[in-house]
Amino acid sequence: MITSDRVQLFDAWAQDYDSGLLSADHPFPFAGYQAVLDEIVNQSQLQPAMSVLDLGTGTGNLAAQFLAQGCQVWGLDFSQEMLAEARVKLPAAAFVHADLLGDWPPLIQRKFDRVVSGYVLHEFDLDTKVHLLQRIASRRLTVGGRIVVGDIAFQSMDIRSEARSRWENRWDEHEHYWAADETQTACLAADLYLSFTQVSICGGVFLISPD
C-alpha cells in the first residue's frame, strides 16, 4: 500500500509537476520523458474508441495522448491534488482516487482494451510489480488486450548498476527502477509475455500480455 508520506509528497508536487519536468536540468531520471510517453501510445496499437485505464495518471500527461487518439480514458491515482490538476486539464476523462495496490472503486471494476502507466511502477519492488501485472492481465483486460508501461528502466541489471554508480547523488534508494532482464524472467514465471524497448538512457517501455 502507498504510505501517507508518499501521498503527501505527490500532493505537494502536483502544481509544479509539469513545469518541473520541462525544466529538468539533469538527464536522470526523466531523460526522454515525452519520447517514453509517445512510445507507450505507439505500442498500444490503438483503434478508435478503445477503453484505456491509466494507472498513476498524475496530472494526466499520458491520459491526454490517449484522449487525443479518440479513446475512452479512465485515470487512477492516489494523490487527490494530482487528480485535481488532471480534471482541469482533461474534463473528458473519468478520474478515480484509489491506491492501485488496494481495492479499486466500482467505476473501474471492469475490463479495458489497454491498461497503461507512465513513470509510476518504480515505486514498487519487482515482486509487487509482477503481482500487479498478473492481477491486471487476469482480471482487467479484454480479449486481445495489452498492458503498456513506460518508466525509469534499463536493459539489464548490470546496466542499472552502472547507472546507479553514475548518478549516485540522484539515485533514490526507496524506489525500484526496472531492469528488463530480471523483469522478463519474473514475468515468464507468472505466465506473462514481456518485451522491452529502451527509449532513452534511463527510460524504456514494456509491453506485457498474457502468455
Residue 42: partners with Cβ closer than 8 Å, 6 or more residues away: none
The residue ranges of every structural domain in the chain are 4-16+32-210
CA distance 110 to 31: 34
- Counting residues of the chain whose pLDDT is more than 70, the rounded percentage is 88
Find out whether 173 and 123 touch, Cβ atoms under 8 Å: no
206 pLDDT more than 70: yes
Q: Which is more confident, 14 or 123? A: 123
Q: Is the model's pLDDT at 11 over the cut of 70?
A: no
Average confidence score pLDDT of the chain = 92
* DSSP codes of every residue in 45-103: ---TT-EEEEET-TTSHHHHHHHHTT-EEEEEES-HHHHHHHHHH-TTSEEEE--TTSP
What pLDDT score does 159 carry? 98
pLDDT band at 7, cuts 50/70/90?
Answer: low
- DSSP labels, 101-114: TSPPPGGG-S-EEE
- The x, y and z cell numbers of residue 203, run together, are 527510460
- Mean pLDDT, rounded, for 8-13: 59
Q: Is residue 14 predicted with pLDDT exceeding 90?
A: no
The class of domain 4-16+32-210 in CATH terms is alpha beta
Q: Quick one: average pLDDT of 168-194?
A: 96
pLDDT, tens digit, 9 for 90 and up, residues 87-116: 999 999 999 999 999 999 999 999 999 999
Nearest 5°: phi and psi at 39?
-70, -30
8 pLDDT tier (thresholds 50, 70, 90) = low
pLDDT at 26: 80
CA distances from 86 to 65, 75, 109, 199 (A): 13, 9, 21, 25
Widest pairwise Cα distance in the chain: 45
Q: Is the pLDDT assigned to residue 64 strictly greater than 90? A: yes
Is the pLDDT reported for residue 16 higher than 80? no
pLDDT exceeds cutoff 80 at 13: no
Query: Which residue did the predictor score with more confidence, 123 or 5?
Result: 123
What is the predicted pLDDT for the residue at 210? 83
Is residue 1 scored above 60 in pLDDT?
no
For residues 132-148, give the mean pLDDT.
96
pLDDT in tens, 28-41: 999 999 999 999 99
